[in-house]
Amino acid sequence: MKRSTTLALRRAYRLMRRRHGHQNWWPGDTPFEVCVGAILTQNTSWRNVERAIARLKAAGVLDPVRMHALAEDQLAEHVRPAGYYRVKARRLRAFLGGLVESHGGRVDRWLEGPTIEVRRRLLDVPGIGPETADSILLYAGEHLSFVVDAYTRRIFARHGWAPPEAAYDDLQALCATALRDRPGAILLDYWRDYHAQLVRVGKDYCRPRAPRCAGCPLEPLL
């Protein structure tokens, strides 16, 4: 990797953080809620996910055992506002199966172990791909697994830090290698907030077709 890219990535965080402050991610009250949100937000705006989670809470089923007890079509009806609701109900049930049947619904136990092994277990769940797995690892667990998403890809491409067609694992490796300019003890918080900052910038400034991103905190790096 080019040293200039490493330095740009580190400077990017200082710029974003200075502009927005710490983002305190992931939005969610419990690790379980983080997992549910991670599945529901697949290719979906967070606003719609919030509606779905609110409905789960209102129905009193935002709990591993109670949610697992629901029939798939009941669950689908609850998460309907999140879109792709039949697909997501199936994915949630696949996730809940392993969580409840093998670990008593305990997210902390389910996420126990070496990051690489837990990640592999997550990826074995149909409907959990790399981004969802890494979101769960990083935000519901305390695993150092950098999250790459559409915003990350777009921002990195626009700045020439990575080609637009770069593979997920390559982007993740790029970030994991470059972003170790913090003591180990606070690396987790750094990576959590780094991804949150990228989402913030992606939403507010880095629009898909906009020729320019006026006011973007990363403008000095263009």
Residues that bind DNA (CB under 7 A): 25-27, 37-38, 41-48, 51, 80-88, 125-133, 135, 139, 149-151, 199, 202-203, 207-209
User: What's the min distance (Å) between Cβ of 218 and DNA?
Assistant: 16
* Burial degree of 2 (CB within 10 A; 0-12, 13-18, 19+): exposed
DSSP single-letter state for residue 215: T
Alpha helices (H) along 71-124: 72-78, 85-103, 107-110, 115-123
User: How far apart are the C-alpha atoms of 174 and 170, rounded to whole Å?
Assistant: 6
CA distances from 168 to 12, 18, 59, 163 (A): 20, 28, 36, 11
- Given the complex with DNA, which of 68 and 192 has the nearer CB atom? 192
User: What's the min distance (Å) between Cβ of 33 and DNA?
Assistant: 11
User: What's the min distance (Å) between Cβ of 63 and DNA?
Assistant: 20
User: What's the min distance (Å) between Cβ of 4 and DNA?
Assistant: 26
- Given the complex with DNA, which of 26 and 194 has the nearer CB atom? 26
- Given the complex with DNA, which of 49 and 61 has the nearer CB atom? 49
H or E segment at 176? Answer: helix 168-178
- Given the complex with DNA, which of 125 and 179 has the nearer CB atom? 125
